[in-house]
Amino acid sequence: MAWSRPRKTSSWRFEGAGIEPRAGAWADRRRDSVPVAPVHIRHGLSVNRTPHTALDVRRPRHIAIIMDGNGRWAKARFRPRSIGHHAGARAVSTCIDTCLAEGIEALTLFAFSSENWQRPSEEVGALMQLLLRTLDREVGELHRRGVRLRFIGERSAFAPEIAYRMTQGELLTADNRIMTLNVAMGYGGRWDITQAARSLARAVQEGRLKPEDIDESSFARGLSLGEMPEPDLCIRTGGDHRISNFL
């Protein structure tokens, strides 16, 4: 069976706070790659498959997004970086709406890396103020819509007021089951591995776990997203093809 190329097919790349189509993506496919039926992305996560497509396009259970490129998006428009961060926050609301409409179980947003503390203090301060305003505005609405909110990362690095708001948001939404929203703040993959290893070491030290019982499953359960299904889809909005210490 040969796959025919549909007319006017576009793939999608995510550019900071906006989403723009890029034509001709199918021409980039290597000749010896496995033939994959074209999927037309119309809006959100909905798909419209061509009649000859026999491929089973499954809805992802868990989507992870590396929120990147907001500053470059603003710079390209000759605006301050803070404008890009505010636009990114609005894009998050749209993303949450789409995931809820499509029945996605879990959404993880890499919002603030542990490495982002090295940014200029003015930018970090503006990001923290944006976080506080977003929590004030959105937590109640997330709760009303049945979203469970979780923060993953080194919380002790944040100001007490911010850490308190994070905890309060988690407590308010703890029993919600429509969707889980994980927000990675002060997070890094190396940090996650380290804290999981420390947790296992404490369990061994306290006699709750034998060293020979440590395996991949027990280690995975100690990671920040140990209770979540593994991400089916990872998106980096800035266009770079790297994960930058994520998960």
Please list, residue by residue across 51-61, b when 16 or more beta carbons sit within 10 angstroms of its beta carbon and e when fewer do.
Answer: eebeeeeeebe
Class of residue 102 by CB neighbours under 10 A (exposed 0-12, middle 13-18, buried 19+): middle
What is d(CA 194, CA 201) in angstroms, rounded to the nearest whole number? 10
What is d(CA 192, CA 25) in angstroms, rounded to the nearest whole number? 35
Q: Which residues have C-beta within 8 Å of that of residue 13, sequence separation ≥ 6?
A: 19, 20, 22, 239
Residue among 28, 48, 56, 68 flagged as catalytic: 68
Strands 10-15 and 18-23: antiparallel
Tokens 């002060």 correspond to: 186
**What does the radius of gyration of the chain's CA atoms come to, in whole angstroms?**
20
68 is catalytic: yes
245 is catalytic: no
Residue among 28, 48, 56, 116 flagged as catalytic: 116
Q: Which residues are catalytic?
A: 68, 116
